Amino acid sequence: MTLTIDYTNMMATAVTGGISESEWAASAAAFEAAHARFRELAASGVVGFVDVVTDEKLLAQSLAFAESAQEKFDDVVVLGIGGSALGTIALRTALLKPGWNALGAAERGGRPRLHVLDNVDPVTIAALLDRLDLARTLWIVISKSGGTAETMSQFLIVHARYGAAGLAPAGNFAFVTDPEQGALRPLARTLGVRALDIPPNVGGRFSVMTPVGILPAALAGIDVRALLAGAADMARRCETTDLRRNPAGVYAVLQWLSDTAHGKTINVFMPYSDQLRDLADWFVQLWAESLGKARRDGSFVGQTPLAALGATDQHSQVQLFMEGPANKTVTFVGVRDRDADLAMPGAFPDVTGVAYLAGHSLAELMGVELRATAGALARRGRPNLTIELERVDAWHLGGLMLLLELATAYGGQLYGVDAFDQPGVELGKQFAYAMLGRPGSEAAIKEWKTLPKPDERWQV
């Protein structure tokens, strides 16, 4: 089982304008300090996303619930948004058979279909509600704060459907939320709904290894123990303060240096695997919401993460990556052994345009194209690195997710920002509350009223 990072193409030895050996050597001390500050946060219990990967009690909550719920449900629907949804979507795409929800029950091994409603578009929600058998559906309402407007709105609508159908809803819901805070806890008690914990020191986008991701994954039959074991293995690898041996440290420092000293303000995340395409969206949220911040000194920091997919985006965004502004790094994710492979037959030996493909396989083509694109980018002075997974399975995915979470946490320390808050999303929320008439929004209403009104000179 291996997970490696090859960052040759980030360095000046391979790429014009890359990171020099002296810069790299000098950053070891900055990393050591960042590592120490993060370790303090973890050791004092302020930040808990690493601890949860070995928390047997927390795991037991999900496993016990999943066991008791088995066979009762044909469909499981997650209601949540942001960090309460993206991890589950990434796990579903990576670790369940492609097209899972369209498979028959036998092909799913008797496990339920798994849906994630991570938006409040009524068209999507109404369509799903129309398709589901309410009695055979489990709704997992996930919200760390227990009060997110989008998730609570979904819950109210779904809950009312049970009343309208004359069904007692309690057994068809599970809540995943903070042990104390927010509206979901008291609601769980009032409604008699089972509630599972998100530890207070684990925030949304770092919560995939808590019941937020583990409960839906366990219900769908994903090997959650292997996921956590892979994450725990990565946590151990990242205990060292020796930068060269700490994979998350290497990732964080490479991106931070590329951004702050080389103008690489965009971080493209490009797996060469359909199974990992939604992992890119999960990473985008993690990197953006954690590191895109105003610092205390009034400066603004953060790399803009951008999702891409190989080989598909070779026929789309790669043109921009090659010849557009030289402001990007590219993170490729490659897979050594794929679950399936298909060989190209040797038909049409006289047609030069296809004959050369004979005898090669699709997995080989994916690998070759990744290396070719990485090499081409390097040739044009565009830095890139490759994370290689031995295979896409629960163990490697757990390792990769923890690597990226830790890199984000180190990134916060390197940039000098709090990676675990998101004050920038507050004002928009307050304005929305004001328009919806939520009590306590008087100040937001006042501020909203001072905004310029739509001006017909600037409308068409």
65: buried, middle or exposed (CB in 10 Å: 19+, 13-18, 0-12)?
buried
The reply to whether 293 belongs to the active site is no
Q: List Cβ neighbours of 193 (8 Å cut-off, separation of 6 or more).
A: 170, 173, 174, 175, 187
Could you say which of 145, 265, 304, 327 contacts ligand PA5 (CB under 6 A)?
A: 145
Q: What is the DSSP letter of 19?
A: B
Q: Which of 289, 328, 388, 405 is catalytic?
A: 289
Nearer to ligand PA5, 374 or 419 (CB): 419
Q: Could you give the CA distance from residue 281 to residue 302 in angstroms, rounded to a whole number?
A: 17
| Cβ contact 253:406 at 8 Å | no
Tokens 């001390």 appear where? 29
204 binds ligand PA5 (CB under 6 A): yes
CB of 38 to ligand PA5, least distance (A): 18
Instruction: Give the span between the Cα atoms of 31 and 33, in whole angstroms.
Output: 5
Our answer to whether residue 315 is catalytic in this structure is: yes
Contact (Cβ atoms closer than 8 angstroms) between residue 278 and residue 89? yes
Cβ closest to ligand PA5, residue 36 vs residue 436: 436
Q: Enumerate residues 65-84 that contact ligand PA5 by CB under 6 A.
A: 81-84
Distance separating alpha carbons of residues 372 and 365, to the nearest angstrom? 10
**What residues from 312 to 351 belong to the interface with ligand PA5 (CB under 6 A)?**
none
Closest CA to 218 of 85, 55, 96, 401: 96
Which residue in the list 57, 180, 315, 442 is annotated as catalytic? 315
Name the helix (H) or strand (E) containing 304. strand 304-307
Binding mask 248-287 for ligand PA5 (x = CB under 6 A): ----------------------------------------
| 147-166 positions binding ligand PA5, by CB under 6 A | 148, 151
Is 18 near ligand PA5 (CB under 6 A)? no
Residue in 108, 144, 159, 237 binding ligand PA5, rule: CB under 6 A:
144
- Residue 411 near residue 293 (C-beta atoms within 8 A): no
Nearest approach, Cβ of 150 to ligand PA5 (angstroms)? Answer: 8
Q: What token pair was written down for 99?
A: 């097209």
C-beta of 46 vs 358, nearer to ligand PA5: 46
Instruction: Determine whether 426 is an active site residue.
Output: no
CA distance 203 to 222: 23
The residue range among 5-13, 154-162, 201-209, 302-310 that interacts with ligand PA5, by the rule CB under 6 A, is: 201-209
Closest separation in Å from C-beta 320 to ligand PA5? 27
The single residue listed with the structure tokens 């219900």 is: 219
Which window, 102-110, 197-205, 327-335, 434-442, contacts ligand PA5 (CB under 6 A)?
A: 197-205
Taking a C-beta distance cutoff of 8 angstroms, is the pair 47, 41 a contact?
yes
Q: Are 407 and 252 in contact (CB under 8 A)?
A: yes
Residue 422 within binding range of ligand PA5, rule CB under 6 A: yes
Work out whether 430 is an interface residue with ligand PA5 (CB under 6 A): no
Residues within the interface to ligand PA5 (CB under 6 A): 81-84, 143-145, 148, 151, 203-205, 289, 422
Return the active site residues: 289, 315, 429
